[in-house]
Amino acid sequence: MHNAVQMDAAATPILQVEGLDIEYRSAAQASVAARDVAFSIGRGEVFGLVGESGSGKSTVLRSIIGLLHHKARVVGGAIRVAGQEVTRLNSAALAELRRRHVAMIFQDPLRALNPVMTIGAQLAEVMEAAGLRDRAEIHRRIVGALQDVGLADPEIRMRAYPHELSGGQRQRVAIAAALIRSPELILADEPTTALDVTIQDQILRLLYDLCRDKGMSVLLVTHDLGVVAEVCDRVGVLYAGRLVETGTVAQVLSAPSHPYTAALLASMPRKGERQARLRVIPGRPPESTIDGCPFAPRCAHALPACSAIPPVLAVHGADRASACWRHDELRERLAEEASVG
């Protein structure tokens, strides 16, 4: 893997999430959106947070810059960006945090860009908010940013409106808007899900290269383990609001230590494996909070104890953690299961 990553990881992580609990409160009841989520992202590292819809992955990402839905609340735990605790910041301090350290890239670039402002005006606004006043300097930086994200004819593109660009071009602009202030951490929420596969391929590579060059860290939220394999250094797998396992991409994808990850890998149709029935996970994720391990009802390896006591995310070896009671005894079987496909 990448030696640079391992060296940087020794320094203060850009993001530390510890014991994060998030609840959704409606009139009737409170439901758990995230429970006891813990991970950290080192400087220059690309961390993938994977999960299916409703797993809480976007909620966790949004909690980092205080963009939670109005019904959601952080009820416990800590989030530190560059060492600064952010869960109890007021809105002015959050705005400062977003300006100085963190940028966000959304799934749908058309909705993330203002339809009645030109691309150039939107990028200029970002820099003016960061305190830049010199028009010529702003112009120069915009042209540079658009070139960085691979848009041809930046001078012409600056005068275009979002609807005049393709989906891929819009996402390039959104990335330019995120990178132009040189943030330390980029939060990317399914940034390529709305794009075609060849354009997704281009954008993922662009994002990866730019972050490498500029030493930025990325939290990439996605449902696609393939995307994780392509660009991430480390990965956390979320299921029903709980982190079930974390580790390097190589570890998690080739030797998963949680039955959910193994089953998910086995259920994916893969290139070159044809005609056989897929090994699917029966049932679907729990809709309400359940006692014990949330995956136990669908788990092929569950014991009675699993439904009674929720497993904690326990560290196993360097940079590896898993929330499964049977982690040690299942290790070999899970690796085998995942590779059978």
Partner 1 sequence: MASGPILRLKGVSKAFRVGPRTLGRPRLLLRALSDVNLEVEAGTTLGIVGESGCGKSTLARIIVGLTQPDAGVVAYEGADLTDLHRRPPAVALGIQMVFQDPYSALNPRMRVGDTILEPLRVHKVVAPQEAPDERDRLLEIVGLSPALARRYPHELSGGQRQRVNIARALSVRPKVIVADEAVSSLDVSVQGQILNLFSDLRDQLGLTMIFVSHDLNVVDHLCERVAVMYLGRIVEEGRGSLLSQGARHPYTRGLASAVPQPIPGRRRVQPAIGGELPSPTNPPSGCVFRSRCPDVQPLCAEVAPTLDPMGPDHRAACHFPLTLRFETPGGRDAADDLTVSSTS
| Chain residues that interact with partner 1, rule: CB under 8 A | 52-53, 150-152, 166, 168-169, 196-202, 204-206, 208, 223-231, 249-250, 253-254, 263-265, 267-275, 277-282, 284
Nearest to partner 1 of 181, 258 (CB atom): 258
Do the Cβ atoms of 79 and 63 come closer than 8 Å?
Answer: yes
The β-bridge relationship of strands 46-50 and 217-222 is: parallel
> Dihedrals φ, ψ of 304, to 5°?
-55, -35
Closest distance to partner 1 from the beta carbon of 98 (Å):
29
Give the C-alpha separation, 104 to 191, whole Å.
10
b/e map 131-165, b = 16+ CB within 10 Å: eeeeeeebbebbbebbebbbbeebeebbebebeeb
Q: Which residue has the tokens 């010529």?
A: 136
Closest distance to partner 1 from the beta carbon of 136 (Å):
27
Closest distance to partner 1 from the beta carbon of 188 (Å):
15
Nearest to partner 1 of 2, 159 (CB atom): 2
CA–CA distances in Å: residue 140 to residues 132, 136, 158: 12, 6, 11
Q: Can you state the angle between helices 167-179 and 135-148, rounded to 10 degrees? A: 130
**Residue 181: CB partners within 8 Å, gap ≥ 6?**
99, 103, 126, 127, 130
Nearest to partner 1 of 115, 282 (CB atom): 282
Rounded to the nearest angstrom, the gap between the alpha carbon of residue 155 and the centroid of all alpha carbons in its chain is 32
Closest distance to partner 1 from the beta carbon of 147 (Å):
11
Closest distance to partner 1 from the beta carbon of 205 (Å):
5
Nearest to partner 1 of 78, 206 (CB atom): 206
Give the C-alpha separation, 301 to 124, whole Å.
55
Nearest to partner 1 of 133, 277 (CB atom): 277
Closest distance to partner 1 from the beta carbon of 280 (Å):
4
Nearest to partner 1 of 9, 65 (CB atom): 9
